[in-house]
Structure 1
Amino acid sequence: MTDNHTAYRPRRSVLYMPSSNERALEKAKTLPVDALILDLEDAVAPDAKDIARENACAAVRSGAYGRRELTIRVNGLGSQWHDADLAAAAAAGPDAIVVPKVGSAEEVRSLVEAMEAAGAPAHTRLWAMVETPAAVLHAEEIALASDRLACLVLGTNDLYKELGATFVPGRAAVQTALQLVLLAARAAGVAVVDGVYNDVKDAEGFLAEARQGREMGFDGKTLIHPGQVGPCNDVFAPGADEVEQARAVIAAFETAQAQGRGVATLNGRLIENLHVDTARKVLATAEAIAALS
């Protein structure tokens, strides 16, 4: 639930916002979202790329987004806009630069070199989007390629397209890919965020997929509509019962240790170090979320 290089930061809700839309950027200042992806890629028409780039960089420099994590998604490697996007984003110094369709560790290192050459400050991290079969199969190498890389972001729409798969509730066609990227992120100690849910009017379907993502182990979910933010925050936050149980686990273990025992029991269940570690993560997550409000 955290990366190797920074303290845990909530990324329950990660909302794409088209940077060509100034009204949307203004609205984003009021949303209870953990992170924003100021988009220069898919959500922006070719004739609006330049103004979107200017708007995103101005938003980052404005300091008007409070505690929200601000990232900029640039156009992909090889596109006519990529170099200018990356240079401008690096100079603006967001919390991270999000790059679509990262396919290899070599690409990660190349991106980091370009960020540093453009003067990206130390706090500006790289988020790599995993959207192709090749990227899934090399996800661990991608995740370990640089200390600048802080998060893997699933691009599930592109993955479905590349696989020739059909979307069905439960996402059977991409579950293996989701799990491989999760494994890679956890092995590398970086964050990992689930893909988008496309039907913004299907609240029940969205909740089911968000719950699936949380149960699998994702830190949060990328979103395409402000209405998805609140439900997503709720799904990916520890509930009151979960927090209470975590406190009880820690208390039972500490009591057992004080009595010279290496294990404890709580309501008939064995409590070991690994359960205590999980409980402490739950409390750290809850505390980090509470600090946002």
Structure 2
Amino acid sequence: MTAALVCENLVKRYGDRTVVDDVGFRIEAGEAYGLLGPNGAGKSTTISMLVGLLPPDAGTVTVGGLDMATDPRAAKQLIGFVPQDIALYPELTARENLTFFGRLYGLPRRELGTRVEEVLDLVGLVDRGNDKVATYSGGMKRRTNIAAALLHRPQLLVLDEPTVGVDPQSRTAILDGVEALVADGMSLLYVSHYMEEVERVCTRVGIIDHGKIMADGSKRELVAELGGSDKVELVIDGDVTATVEKLSALEGVESAVAAGSQTVRLVATGSRHLLPQIIAAASSCAAVTGVEVVEPDLEAAFLHLTGNTLRD
């Protein structure tokens, strides 16, 4: 099957500053792909080029096999784009907004009314469809935005930070709806800095930082970038310095440091199998009163690859 999206060697510069630097990834038909990165990493600029809002200085974008540069109208018709900022007319009702956008998409008049009701039902807003968008909560506005993007039955849905500023109930409703769309076979590009959302919704993830794709793969593949290292924390009653020295000498322990007068933190490969040796070595210097093992997750992979916490 033709890939839903292929971008290659994308570059965008503003003066002497390169904000997107040789970015490339691929989304297969029916695949949910997450683009994860800290604020200022180049996510929004990349998305603007992918959906045809911003021309790249170099590189190519194809959507469903159509080149965004040479056939932009047809390529854009395959995309449903939900921007980070609400793109609705607040003084119109949800039905009026959707009818307007449906006409822009070129939906036949005989089909438009039915389709508006279908997408309102999909996002759970049929009962509020005749209320002005200005009266909606932030979560309801975002759900209406998603409904607008789905009107023309796109092949690829692009969501740019879809849960920013919404209440927990709306966030859950949005994520449930996105999962249902993916289960029905829709291709998805989910852009966020909320790792738990990307981990829940997407089967493959690209991590972007400083305008570059740092890694691309499944969660398992990204975590493997850490080399299988786990974090282990020991609470002890005894000589912390001697315990650190003893643990540092163990094969498989990458580092061991004191974290207070009664705590030792270490990084180890395959700590579940190494744990008996760790406890035995520590017990030769002190009494071990507590043990916690944290195995690598997507957040650990993110921090390992970017060297940053999520930043402004």
Same fold by TM (over 0.5)?
no
As a proportion of its length, which structure holds more helix?
Answer: 1
Q: TM-score, normalised by structure 2?
A: 0.34
User: Which has more radius of gyration?
Assistant: 2
Q: TM-score, normalised by structure 1?
A: 0.35
As a proportion of its length, which structure holds more strand?
Answer: 2
